[in-house]
Amino acid sequence: EKIIVDWKTSSSKNDDVWALKGTFYHYLVQQNKLCDVADKVLYVQLDRNGGMPTVHEYEITKNLKSLMVATIMCYRFEEKVKNKKRW
């Protein structure tokens, strides 16, 4: 089973952002039919002092997928508003 892995160099994690970002990655892999991928994403957070990295796992849930769709819709709406203001 293939798993999406993202390498992070940031010193602090953000569970909400990382989980949503992983959901977007998952969506893009599925939409582009790149491969079958697990319903989870791993973030490997590198240690700033060269120590062992920390691995964070996030499950891709229905709620995250719904939030992702809502985020896309909000983005598209904002783009339409911006374009109308230019005219």
What's the pLDDT tens digit per position in 6-33? 999 887 889 999 999 999 999 999 999 8
Residue 87 in this model has a pLDDT that exceeds 60: no
7 touches 44 (CB < 8 A): yes
Answer whether 0.85 is exceeded by the pTM: no
Residue 46 in this model has a pLDDT that exceeds 80: yes
pLDDT at 86: 52
Which of helix, strand or coil describes residue 49?
A: coil
Alpha helices, DSSP H only, in the chain? 15-31, 62-86
Rounded (to 5) percent helix, strand, coil in the chain:
50, 25, 25
Place of tokens 């590198």: 46
